[in-house]
């Protein structure tokens, strides 16, 4: 009986992990020490290269996230991005900055995208990318 339960549990765990795998982005750049995460969606993962991501304090004393993204595709790329800010306990800080912003750039071009936290409690950030919808 124990063997059957173990096999069933292993199968359920495998199905659960398989289901989650489809929602995981193609790749991400993370710096846990600095509290930054850049997530690139599967729809643009082969077209963009995250060259640099920096989290620093700006002149007003809040955090600023700066991300250099290069278009490595052979054509113009319409891109959308948004930034989330988190408190130290992991709770998200809701702002208009969490809305999708649109930028496009030519093949080979590098964009520097920046986002400033408007809340002084912001300690961590996440910038997310996807192909712009038409």
Tokens of 131: 């192909």
Which residue is associated with the tokens 């199905």?
Answer: 15
- Angle (CA) 39-70-20 rounded to 5° is 20
What's the mean pLDDT in 29-37? 59
Specify the pLDDT at position 73: 94
Convert the pLDDT of each residue in 91-124 to its tens digit.
988 876 578 899 999 999 999 999 999 889 998 8
Q: In the predicted model, is pLDDT for residue 33 greater than 70? A: no
3-class state of residue 85 by DSSP: strand
- The model's pTM is 0.70
What CATH number was assigned to the domain covering residues 25-131?
2.60.40.3230
What mean pLDDT value characterizes the chain? 77
Residue 53 and residue 129 in contact, taking contact as beta carbons nearer than 8 Å: no
């Amino acid at each position: 009986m124990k063997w059957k339960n173990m096999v069933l549990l292993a199968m359920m765990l495998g199905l659960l992990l398989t289901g989650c795998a489809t929602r995981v982005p193609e790749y991400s750049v993370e710096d846990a020490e600095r509290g930054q995460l850049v997530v690139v969606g599967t729809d643009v993962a082969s077209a963009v290269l995250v060259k640099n991501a920096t989290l620093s304090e700006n002149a007003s004393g809040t955090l600023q996230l700066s991300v250099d993204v290069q278009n490595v595709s052979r054509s113009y790329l319409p891109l959308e991005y948004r930034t989330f800010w988190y408190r130290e306990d992991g709770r998200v800080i809701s702002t208009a900055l969490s809305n999708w912003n649109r930028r496009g750039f030519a093949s080979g071009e590098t964009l520097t995208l920046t986002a400033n936290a408007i809340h002084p409690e912001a300690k961590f950030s996440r910038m997310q990318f996807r192909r712009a919808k038409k």
